[in-house]
Chains A and B, each alone.
Chain A
Amino acid sequence: MITAGLVEALTGIVGARHVRTAPAERLTYARDGLPTHRRVPAVVVLPGSRDELAAVVRLLAAHDVPFVPRGAGTGLSGGALADGAAVLLVLTRLNRILSLDPSNRVAVVEPGVVNARLSAAAAPHGLHYAPDPSSQTACTIGGNVAENAGGPHCLKYGVTAQHVLALEVVLADGRVVELGSPSGEPWGPDMVGLFVGSEGNFGIATRIAVRLLPQPRAVRTLLAAFASLRAAGEAVSAVIASGIVPAALEMMDQSCIRAVEDSVYAAGYPRDAAAVLLVELDGHSDDAVVAETETVHGLLSAHGAASIRVAADARERERLWQGRKKAFGAMGRLSRDLVVQDAVVPRSALPEVLEAIGRIAATYQLTVSNVFHAGDGNLHPNISFDARVPGLRTRVDAASTEIMEACVAAGGTITGEHGVGLDKLRYMPLIFDAESLAAMRAVRRVWDPEERVNPGKVVPVHACREWSGLRIADRGLRIEQQARSPAQSAIDNPQSAIAPRGAR
């Protein structure tokens, strides 16, 4: 229970200025980058150090109060939201780069460090932090770790999980543990790998050791325009199968191209193309990159590229990328509300799936814009709509579900980088059976036996059963815990598979 006494005790730890209780202030934390979900936290706390954070967590444990970590709130699955029974722990003040070791190419940062600032700090040493989510100028490394964030250049360099070496984590009860070793070699089981992508359910990452990579010395960026989505999709498969691993391979469809061209980030994409591919090749040797660029150029032409432009210099390349990276934001121009989707399909299925998405959009009479990491098969079909129009929201939800089903049917998955959070709970049963979901939940309970950290996310369990059911099983109390409003959940009760183990 959140009491006045608790708020006072929180104030005692972090100072009055860093405890937010006014409705207006809490309201500014009610949403993340996916504004279709809204939850107003009971209290917002902004700790200023790891020790303050741990003290806050211990206090909340003693009061049996759930809490939710939040970085920059750019997440796209409603992950960083806390409801009226929970405390939101905002980590933006934990924003120091603690060390940067150029010879071993390792940096240690606090979770609130903004992704792009880490790369900027590494740049003078000829290094960079490779995972580059499009939100990199805003999102935090802590949020990246929690979501296992990807980005355009993860095609060649790998997602966040491949760059995190070690972690310091504050667990649900306030204990602090160190996972992994400075070199990234696991110390026992790969607890770092398990933690990355756990969406805040296993605890709060308070220190993060990451690998830095040398900046490539040679880079070429191509922009190829196509007359159909299918042709562009086929060109993607051809490039992947060629054995060349581009640093990035991104696709944008016409509606996205136009939104970008209308924005301050206009990059000179051809407005009349049905789709463009942005392909980047990089490496150590200019000769090799040039040769690979020629090969890719040939493949793109052979697959029907109407025009191919090679960025003349770093400035043009930057412009081409800015357009891509700000594309989600630019879609705000298309209409008032936007649902950003995230799914992955096998790369060879791209042409079919893109066509299926087009059909679904037509059926529901919705505008769907595609901008995505084509080289990974990681789709982002975005639906623009106006939530004020009665009934439209339902149509958007139905279309989203159909799109997810189409991706899963093609052998894909429901999220490639944005995470499950609240938004994807209902799709989890599309890809995992009850047993596997139950296993996940059991693992979560190893880290957080009372499921107090970021409750109600990732594994779909009917909210009230989740809380009361397991407590009954484990502690034999709280039978009368009143039912909470049901979360968006499609699965009935997967918990039965793990509940009374002795009974099996």
Chain B
Amino acid sequence: MIDRGGSEALDTCVHCGFCLQACPTFLATGDEADSPRGRIDLMRALETGELAPDDPALRLHLDRCLGCRGCEPVCPSGVGYGRGIEAARAMLATRRRPPALARAALRALTSPGPSRIVYALARMLRATGIPRRLAGWGRFRFAMGMLAATRPTRNAKRGTRNTRAAASSAFRVPTSALLFRGCVMDGLFSHVHDATVRTLGVNGWAVGETPGQVCCGALHAHAGLREEARLLARANVAAFGEGDVPIVVNSAGCGAMLKEYGHLIGAAGFAARVRDVTELLTAGGGPRPGAPVDVQVAYDPPCHLLHAQRIADEPLRVLGAIPVLRIVSLPDAAQCCGSAGLFTLLQPAMSRAVLAPKLASLRTAAPQVVATGNPGCVMQLGAGLAASGLSAAVRHPVELLDESYGAAGYYA
């Protein structure tokens, strides 16, 4: 058998079209070239050589794929779209380097040295409150909105950093887990890491740190830089070592990627250890209820949690552990927000077109908080809400649970 690098995952497509209405880009343009089925046609033509890798139209439509994998769970035929598109992107990357903007962004956000400086500057800028005021539509203002959205909500700061005190809680005998820190998460969302450690602690998980870990490589893989992604993957596998201690992730995009390490570098054992934070929190009947938080929340499932990892109920159960909190449902919640890693930077027009219906339904539902478990989504939704003049804050579900636990005195 020839190694087809993942393209074989597309073979079962029978062209039924069930995926069309699940695809945000098709909904935005109505064009089958922007649909999963159409892109599968393109990828097949690329593989057979009917279309050349430098065909501009082919590239345009493959580039416009969000990689949200909304098309996968609706496919009765079990087409592995995500693997197919990464194979295709890898094939394209051999012929064309990813755009300069993508390369610059990857370097700035994921490589250990430069990224530290970038994040430090970003945090300083964020602290000035200027991004918040600049937030709006054009490219720059939207970026400012995204940055502003990463700012921790004030009352979430309560509690102490990385406390493990609460792990003494009699709720359960502590079991250990290892935190995956990632790049953007670590740089801009360390408050979510803190909340993760604390809330897991309350639920009987002793969360440990792992030195030597690096970026998960998801952004590289999406951009077709498969070799770079493999290097990062190997580094992570080495850092986390052998054993079966769960690896806990609070970024849906990273989680989905880590769970793919089996396909990517044959590290199936590692992949099997990866758990989203909501999976751990809800294991064994949890999470433990906290104190009431009187807030109306819309849950917007990240594609990489819902479609790629097929985790649907757990985040809702986490929110359900907060008394009084009300969940408002969003029509078409399962649809992508248009963030999709670097997509929001590289394909701003399509990204905004995909975001628009989501903002419209948020305007109608008018929640006080939008909960979502992925950094990109937090930023995209936050920027979109700010630009549209909507006041809702965007937060990770564990942040809300953390607030509830704090109020309950679990960290005292």
Q: Touching in the complex, A and B, CB below 8 A?
A: yes
Residues of A within 8 A of B (CB): 20, 22-25, 27-35, 46, 72-74, 90, 92-93, 95, 112, 114, 116-117, 135, 137-139, 260, 262-265, 326-333, 336-338
- Given A24-B61, A27-B45; A35-B14 close (CB under 8 Å): yes
B12: chain A residues at CB < 8 Å are 332-333, 336
Inter-subunit contact B61/A25 (CB<8 Å): yes
Inter-subunit contact B18/A24 (CB<8 Å): no
A337: chain B residues at CB < 8 Å are 14
Inter-subunit contact B42/A24 (CB<8 Å): yes
- Given A24-B57, A30-B41; A329-B75 close (CB under 8 Å): yes
Asked if B76 CB lies within 8 Å of chain A CBs, one says yes
Residue from the list A27, A93, A139 in contact with B30, Cβ < 8 A:
A93
B32-40, B205-213, B292-300, B390-398 - interface stretch: B32-40
B35: chain A residues at CB < 8 Å are 28
Inter-subunit contact A25/B78 (CB<8 Å): no
Inter-subunit contact A264/B17 (CB<8 Å): no
Asked if B13 CB lies within 8 Å of chain A CBs, one says yes
Inter-subunit contact B33/A329 (CB<8 Å): no
A135: chain B residues at CB < 8 Å are 16-18
Residue from the list B11, B18, B42, B74 in contact with A28, Cβ < 8 A:
B42
Inter-subunit contact B18/A22 (CB<8 Å): no
CB-based nearest A residue for B62:
A24
Given contacts A24-B33, A74-B16, 8 further A-B contacts (CB under 8 A): A20-B31, A35-B15, A116-B21, A138-B20, A264-B76, A329-B14, A331-B14, A332-B76
Ordered by A's residue number, 11 sampled pairs between the chains whose C-beta atoms are within 8 Å are A25-B33, A29-B38, A30-B41, A32-B15, A35-B15, A72-B17, A73-B17, A93-B30, A263-B78, A327-B76, A330-B77
CB-based nearest A residue for B56:
A22
Majority SS at the chain B contact face: loop
CB-based nearest A residue for B19:
A138
- Given A24-B42, A28-B38; A329-B18 close (CB under 8 Å): yes
> In the assembly, what is the distance between CA of A95 and CA of B26, in Å?
13
Inter-subunit contact B77/A112 (CB<8 Å): no
CB-based nearest B residue for A335:
B12
B50: chain A residues at CB < 8 Å are 27
Minimum CB–CB distance from A141 to chain B (whole Å) comes to: 14
A25: chain B residues at CB < 8 Å are 31, 33, 57, 61
Shortest 6 CB-CB contacts between residues of A and residues of B: A332-B77, A329-B76, A28-B38, A22-B57, A92-B30, A326-B76
Minimum CB–CB distance from A495 to chain B (whole Å) comes to: 33
Asked if B360 CB lies within 8 Å of chain A CBs, one says no
Asked if B238 CB lies within 8 Å of chain A CBs, one says no
Asked if B73 CB lies within 8 Å of chain A CBs, one says yes
> In the assembly, what is the distance between CA of A116 and CA of B55, in Å?
36
B17: chain A residues at CB < 8 Å are 33, 72-74, 135, 138-139
B74: chain A residues at CB < 8 Å are 137, 264
Asked if B58 CB lies within 8 Å of chain A CBs, one says yes
Minimum CB–CB distance from A100 to chain B (whole Å) comes to: 16
Inter-subunit contact A28/B76 (CB<8 Å): no
CB-based nearest B residue for A382:
B14
Minimum CB–CB distance from A49 to chain B (whole Å) comes to: 13
> In the assembly, what is the distance between CA of A27 and CA of B31, in Å?
12
> In the assembly, what is the distance between CA of A93 and CA of B31, in Å?
9
